[in-house]
């Protein structure tokens, strides 16, 4: 019997490969161009100055916090969008994804006029003695605003692909919805959850426009690495380039550590005895 | 494979070529472009045609838009294309080869950068000055009446970061007044400072007089009442690589002339 | 210990009621789209009815009129579908222990239960494997153990052997035979062998309704529905009943005997004539003689059938000896005459 899982033919035309190479170069060349301009003798000094360290540390802290916030808010959102069925669902999905297409500055303005001192909710918060603007909280909120759609999108897709059949079986085995979520749904979509969280973290790390508009810029409080880079560019391009490279390196390390490419198929069983009969079936009804 | 590769390569070449060609035509303008020599002869305005690209500091957005219109009216056939951004961004772009004909900077430091790169034709001319003012929300919630009030605890003050000109000026004013302001934010540009005050987020912000002017009634200005307040000079100059030097010279003359100075004065700029 | 259910679901054209007695296994059969799987889904709580009520051992599963609906996890029904659907991220043992541990048993107790049920389905040696490392038959046995581990009051089996290869099916059938003894179960199947060996009663569904039911042997011996006759391997012709026979919609007359149990007042209107392929003789030209049914047909297919040759001609089939087939030089396209003695034809009211 022909076994598709051992076939090695790939129907990729060579001109597609050529364009793919071009696409990869388009992204890699500017990085190389920047790396070529780095002032290597002073690199360490440049990226370890007080302001650089403060910005890097703040960026890592806020990006981590916003990733946690994205998980807390994004996982339920993705589940409701993937599993629920209610009027306005399509509209809600479109709105949730809005931060992907809106310029971050617009997002920052929206946050400002909502949570700012004169804002819709901010006014009440201000009365209660809570001031968000110009605080690290504001940075985390701005980052969460722009990063949330990445997590929701990634997870919702995985949830839809995973389907609901395992969940139905789990329910017939006596598992309550919360138990199904914890023991079946989340483990099954773990790859999507991880890649969504990584994307959200990376997006948070690079956030600039919304942070600038909503949170301001103060060393150690709201001036994240991208803001520091923008500022250093004004007076010290060498420092800006060095910090840019640092930002790219941090993002690359995080992505490489946690992000796995979508697998082609389920992993093939290892060491299955040859006598075990026909190959296991994929989870699909004929 | 090959039969496919060729059309794709061709399409890419066309795409890139088309874009380059597009830029080219924009630049070259009419055939009257470069020649140069007729400019000095009689009937100057007739030969002053083509598109002039002016790189101007963001704080000049309102005035230079006005001046460009006036200039085009005075010189039919001439077109002024404006690009506004922070002075250091513009300087960096010009040094990197951006096709500017005229550079108007908000400070001498960034003009000097371009001069040092041997990209300025002649000597820069100062055409305006600017100084800081305290912008407060119209209701003035923190009741700011003097520069010293900015140091009061609990007052949310927003300034520019020291790395940008408006921030450097703010630090200088603080130093000469002996006042220590603890800002809640050091913004990356003056527009962000103004934005925070307009939004009511900050009680006060240090911006330029012209910014308060340009914001209409959205903020109120409180003068920086200190001796030896910092004055920013705005230099303008032609770019040496320009192919339209006569037109550039005419525009610079227009800005520094009576008509240009009137427009700048109306916007709150000080005389050079 | 009984199940009584009724359900109406217009969207799936279902109007159905069913009772399952204590320890009884009911086989649901019928053509594709008849609504068999809908019934199972309704009972498992994976589908909501528009109207109807179901009660299992005195517990109300749903009552549409009162807006009462018990979620699947609270029903105590075990489901085994065509696809084993073992949780891919858990080991075999963890899969089987899933039910007990999800319903409050401690980890150790759940694993003990898991091992016991794996033992019961002869799969104890698979405990540490991943589902991806199992063959189809092994996976289905593990899924069986997983369903049984919750000690369900009603077992729902939705074509559990349909996806298995011919080597694994008999093993699972034997297991099911053991498991279903004394258990209350609803078994959806296409396989007449499953119904005969596993079920106490066959229910034949068509278009969301019951068309026939009874003990498997009786239903297959004297099928009343076209589907059941097909299951029994009979030729089936439909039309309207006339004196001593059936008039098909194509105008052919079929003479036959009334099936036992066909009441006198039912011997009119729509009806069915059924006869086994072995009762059909094949000729190249119409023979003369005793009162017989004669159908002119064109051969569509000739295939081996045990030690006989099955000749298919449109909807009819005849079983003849290989020698006779060779004599007649039968091939697709050959015009033949099919002959059936009236005594071999059973007539049913529809």
What's the pLDDT tens digit per position in B227-267?
888 898 999 999 998 888 899 999 999 999 999 999 999 99
> Helix, strand or coil for residue A227?
helix
Q: What is the pLDDT of residue C104?
A: 84
Q: How far apart are CA A250 and CA A215, in angstroms?
A: 23
Average pLDDT over residues A231-253: 88
Nearest to A272 by CA among C83, C135, C172: C135
Q: Same structural domain for residues C269 and C283?
A: no
When divided into structural domains, chain A yields a total of: 1
Q: How far apart are CA B159 and CA B196, in angstroms?
A: 10
Report helix, strand and coil shares of chain A as percent, to nearest 5. 70, 0, 30
Q: Same structural domain for residues C92 and C122?
A: yes
Q: How far apart are CA A92 and CA A87, in angstroms?
A: 9
A 149-178 residues inside an 8 A Cβ radius of C: 165-166, 168-177
Average pLDDT over residues A137-143: 96
Position with higher pLDDT, A205 vs C165: A205
- Any idea which of A32-41, C161-170, C238-247 has the lowest mean pLDDT? C161-170
Q: Closest-CA residue in chain A for B191?
A: A213
Q: How far apart are CA C125 and CA C112, in angstroms?
A: 14
The reply to whether A30 falls in a domain is no
Res B26 pLDDT > 70: no
Res B39 pLDDT > 50: no
Contact A174 C46 (CB under 8 A): no
Is the separation of the CB atoms in C123 and C117 below 8 Å?
no
Return the structure tokens found at C208.
Answer: 């969301």
Contact B164 A231 (CB under 8 A): yes
Nearest to A116 among B4, B158, B199 (CB): B199
The reply to whether C157 falls in a domain is yes
Position with higher pLDDT, B105 vs B12: B105
Average pLDDT over residues B124-144: 94
Q: Same structural domain for residues C23 and C157?
A: yes
Instruction: Round the average pLDDT of chain B to a whole number and report it.
Output: 83
Return the structure tokens found at A196.
Answer: 């969504």
Average pLDDT over residues C34-53: 93
A278 inside 8 A of chain C by CB: yes
Res A78 pLDDT > 60: yes
Which chain A residues are closer than 8 Å to C42 by Cβ? Answer: none
Average pLDDT over residues C111-134: 93
Which chain C residues are closer than 8 Å to A283 by Cβ? Answer: 83, 85, 88
Q: Same structural domain for residues C125 and C270?
A: no
When divided into structural domains, chain C yields a total of: 3
Instruction: Round the average pLDDT of chain C to a whole number and report it.
Output: 89
- Any idea which of C184-188, C190-194, C205-209 has the lowest mean pLDDT? C190-194
C130 inside 8 A of chain A by CB: yes
The reply to whether C349 falls in a domain is no
Is the separation of the CB atoms in C22 and C48 below 8 Å?
no
Q: Same structural domain for residues C158 and C254?
A: no
CA B107 from centroid of its chain's CA atoms: 9
Which chain B residues are closer than 8 Å to A118 by Cβ? Answer: 199-201
- H/E stretch holding C164: none
Nearest to C165 among A169, A175, A278 (CB): A278
Confidence band (pLDDT; 50, 70, 90) for A266?
very low
> Do you know the residue count of chain C?
350
Q: How far apart are CA B23 and CA B26, in angstroms?
A: 5
Residues 6+ apart with CB under 8 A from A250: A56, A59, A60, A205
B200 inside 8 A of chain A by CB: yes
Which chain A residues are closer than 8 Å to C131 by Cβ? Answer: 280
Which chain A residues are closer than 8 Å to C136 by Cβ? Answer: 277-278, 280-281
In tens, the pLDDT along C76-120 reads: 999 999 999 999 999 999 999 999 999 888 889 999 999 999 998
- Any idea which of A68-82, B176-190, C218-232 has the lowest mean pLDDT? C218-232
Q: Same structural domain for residues C163 and C255?
A: no
The highest-level CATH class for domain B130-231 is alpha beta
Size of interface A-B (CB pairs under 8 A): 73
Q: How far apart are CA C224 and CA C226, in angstroms?
A: 7
ipTM, 2 dp? 0.80
How do the domains of chain B map onto residue ranges?
130-231
Contact C132 A166 (CB under 8 A): no
- Any idea which of B141-145, C8-12, C152-156 has the lowest mean pLDDT? C8-12
Res B82 pLDDT > 90: yes
- Any idea which of B181-185, C20-24, C163-167 has the lowest mean pLDDT? C163-167
Is the separation of the CB atoms in C86 and C97 below 8 Å?
no
* Residue A210 belongs to domain spanning: 41-258
Q: Same structural domain for residues C304 and C207?
A: no
Is the separation of the CB atoms in B237 and B121 below 8 Å?
yes
Res A262 pLDDT > 70: no
Confidence band (pLDDT; 50, 70, 90) for B149?
very high
Greatest extent of chain C over all pairs of C-alpha atoms, in Å = 80
* Residue C264 belongs to domain spanning: 227-275
The reply to whether A213 falls in a domain is yes
Average pLDDT over residues B180-184: 94
Angle B91-B92-B94 from CA coordinates, rounded to 5°? 65
Is the separation of the CB atoms in C86 and C146 below 8 Å?
yes
Neighboring chains of B (3 or more beta-carbon pairs < 8 A): A
B203 inside 8 A of chain A by CB: no
In tens, the pLDDT along C263-277 reads: 667 777 888 888 989
Q: Is A253 exposed, middle or buried, given 0-12, 13-18 or 19+ CB atoms closer than 10 A?
A: exposed
**CA B9 to each of CA A20, B12, B17, B20, C299: distance values in angstroms, whole numbers, following the listed order:** 13, 5, 12, 16, 61
The reply to whether A263 falls in a domain is no
Q: What is the pLDDT of residue C75?
A: 93
Nearest to B186 among A112, A217, A237 (CB): A217
Is the separation of the CB atoms in C159 and C190 below 8 Å?
yes
Confidence band (pLDDT; 50, 70, 90) for A286?
very low
Which chain B residues are closer than 8 Å to A235 by Cβ? Answer: 88, 163
Which of A172, A179, A273 is the best mutation test for C, with the most CBs of C within 10 A? A172
C48 inside 8 A of chain A by CB: no
Q: How far apart are CA B234 and CA B87, in angstroms?
A: 10
Q: What is the pLDDT of residue A134?
A: 87
The reply to whether A31 falls in a domain is no
Q: Same structural domain for residues C248 and C191?
A: no
Is the separation of the CB atoms in A43 and A120 below 8 Å?
no
In tens, the pLDDT along A17-65 reads: 999 999 999 999 999 988 898 989 999 999 999 999 999 999 999 999 9
Contact A267 C165 (CB under 8 A): no
The reply to whether C350 falls in a domain is no
Position with higher pLDDT, C76 vs B19: C76
Q: Specify the pTM.
A: 0.76
Give B188's strand partners.
none
Q: Closest-CA residue in chain C for A163?
A: C85
Give C246's strand partners.
C241, C254
Return the structure tokens found at C214.
Answer: 């009874």
Contact A134 B187 (CB under 8 A): no
Q: Domain holding C310: CATH number? A: 2.40.50.100
Q: What is the pLDDT of residue B36?
A: 37
Residues 6+ apart with CB under 8 A from C242: C253
Task: Identify the DSSP state of A156.
Answer: H
Task: Identify the DSSP state of A34.
Answer: H
């Amino acid at each position: 019997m022909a076994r598709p899982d051992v076939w090695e033919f790939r129907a990729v035309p060579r001109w597609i490969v050529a364009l793919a190479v071009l696409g990869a170069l388009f992204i890699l060349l500017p990085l190389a161009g920047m790396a070529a301009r780095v002032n290597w003798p002073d690199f360490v000094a440049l990226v370890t100055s007080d302001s650089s360290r403060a910005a890097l540390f703040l960026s890592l802290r806020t990006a981590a916090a916003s990733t946690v916030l994205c998980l807390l808010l994004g996982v339920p959102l993705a589940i409701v969008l993937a599993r629920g069925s209610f009027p306005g669902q399509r509209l809600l999905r479109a709105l949730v994804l809005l931060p992907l297409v809106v310029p971050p500055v617009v997002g920052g303005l929206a946050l400002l006029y909502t949570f700012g001192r004169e804002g819709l909710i901010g006014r009440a918060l201000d009365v209660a003695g809570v001031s968000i603007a110009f605080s690290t909280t504001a940075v985390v909120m701005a980052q969460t605003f722009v990063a949330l759609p990445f997590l929701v999108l990634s997870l919702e897709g995985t949830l839809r692909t995973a389907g609901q059949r395992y969940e139905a079986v789990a329910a017939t085995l006596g598992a309550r919805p919360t138990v199904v979520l914890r023991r079946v749904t989340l483990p099954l979509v773990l790859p999507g959850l991880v890649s969504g969280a990584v994307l959200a973290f990376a997006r948070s790390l690079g956030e600039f426009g919304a942070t600038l508009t909503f949170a301001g810029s103060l060393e150690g409080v709201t001036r994240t690495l991208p803001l520091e880079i923008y500022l250093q560019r004004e007076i010290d391009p060498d420092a800006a380039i060095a910090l840019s490279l640092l930002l790219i390196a941090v993002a690359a390390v995080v992505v490489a550590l946690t992000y796995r490419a979508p697998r082609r198929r389920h992993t093939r069983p290892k060491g299955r005895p040859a006598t075990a009969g026909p190959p296991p079936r994929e989870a699909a009804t004929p | 494979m090959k039969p496919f590769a060729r059309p794709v390569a061709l399409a890419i070449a066309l795409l890139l070529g088309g874009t380059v060609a597009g830029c080219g035509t924009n630049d070259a303008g009419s055939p009257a472009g470069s020649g140069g020599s007729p400019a000095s002869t009689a009937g100057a305005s007739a030969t002053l045609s083509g598109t002039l690209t002016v790189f101007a500091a963001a704080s000049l957005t309102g005035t230079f838009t006005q001046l460009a219109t006036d200039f085009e009216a005075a010189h039919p056939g001439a077109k002024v294309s404006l690009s506004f951004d922070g002075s250091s961004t513009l300087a960096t772009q010009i040094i990197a080869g951006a096709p500017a004909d005229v550079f108007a900077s908000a400070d001498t430091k960034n003009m000097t950068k371009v001069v040092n790169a041997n990209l300025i034709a002649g000597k820069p001319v100062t055409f305006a000055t600017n100084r800081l003012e305290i912008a407060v929300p119209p209701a003035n919630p923190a009741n700011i009446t003097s520069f010293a009030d900015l140091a009061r605890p609990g007052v949310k003050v927003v300034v520019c970061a020291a790395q940008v000109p408006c921030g450097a000026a703010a630090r200088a004013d603080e130093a000469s007044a002996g006042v220590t302001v603890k800002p809640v934010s050091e913004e990356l540009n003056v527009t962000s400072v103004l934005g925070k005050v307009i939004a009511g987020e900050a009680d006060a912000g240090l911006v330029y007089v012209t910014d308060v002017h340009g914001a209409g009634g959205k903020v109120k200005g409180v003068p920086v009442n200190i001796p030896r307040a910092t004055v920013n000079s705005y230099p303008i100059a032609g770019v040496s690589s320009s192919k339209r030097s006569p037109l550039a010279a005419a525009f610079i003359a227009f800005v520094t002339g009576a008509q240009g100075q009137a427009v700048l004065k109306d916007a709150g700029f000080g005389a050079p | 210990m009984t199940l009584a259910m009724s359900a109406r679901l217009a969207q799936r054209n279902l109007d159905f009621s069913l009772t399952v007695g204590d320890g009884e296994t009911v086989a649901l059969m019928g053509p594709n789209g008849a609504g068999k799987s809908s019934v199972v889904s309704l009972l498992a709580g994976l589908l909501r009815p528009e109207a109807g009520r179901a009660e299992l051992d005195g517990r109300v599963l749903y009552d549409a009129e009162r807006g009462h609906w018990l979620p699947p996890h609270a029903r105590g029904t075990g489901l085994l579908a065509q696809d084993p659907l073992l949780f891919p991220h858990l080991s075999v043992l963890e899969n089987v222990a899933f039910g007990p541990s999800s319903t409050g048993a401690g980890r150790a107790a759940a694993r003990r239960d898991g091992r016991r049920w794996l033992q019961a389905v002869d799969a104890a040696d698979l405990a540490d494997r991943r589902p991806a490392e199992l063959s189809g038959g092994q996976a289905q046995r593990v899924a069986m153990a997983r369903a049984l581990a919750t000690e369900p009051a009603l077992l729902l089996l939705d074509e559990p052997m349909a996806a298995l290869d011919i080597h694994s099916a008999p093993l699972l059938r034997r297991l099911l035979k053991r498991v279903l003894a004394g258990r209350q179960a609803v078994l959806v199947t296409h396989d007449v062998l499953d119904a005969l060996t596993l079920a106490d009663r066959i229910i034949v569904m068509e278009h969301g309704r019951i068309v026939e039911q009874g003990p498997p042997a009786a239903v297959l011996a004297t099928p009343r529905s076209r589907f059941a006759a097909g299951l029994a391997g009979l030729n089936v012709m439909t039309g309207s009943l006339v004196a001593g026979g059936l008039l098909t919609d194509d105008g052919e007359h079929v003479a036959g005997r009334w099936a036992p149990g066909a009441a006198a007042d039912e011997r009119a209107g729509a009806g069915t004539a059924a006869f086994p392929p072995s009762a059909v003789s094949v000729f190249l030209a119409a023979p003369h003689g005793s009162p017989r049914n004669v159908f002119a047909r064109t051969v569509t297919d000739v295939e081996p059938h045990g030690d006989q040759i099955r000749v298919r001609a449109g909807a009819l089939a005849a079983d003849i000896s290989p020698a006779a087939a060779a004599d007649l030089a039968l091939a697709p396209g050959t015009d033949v005459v099919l002959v059936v003695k009236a005594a071999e034809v059973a007539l049913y009211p529809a």
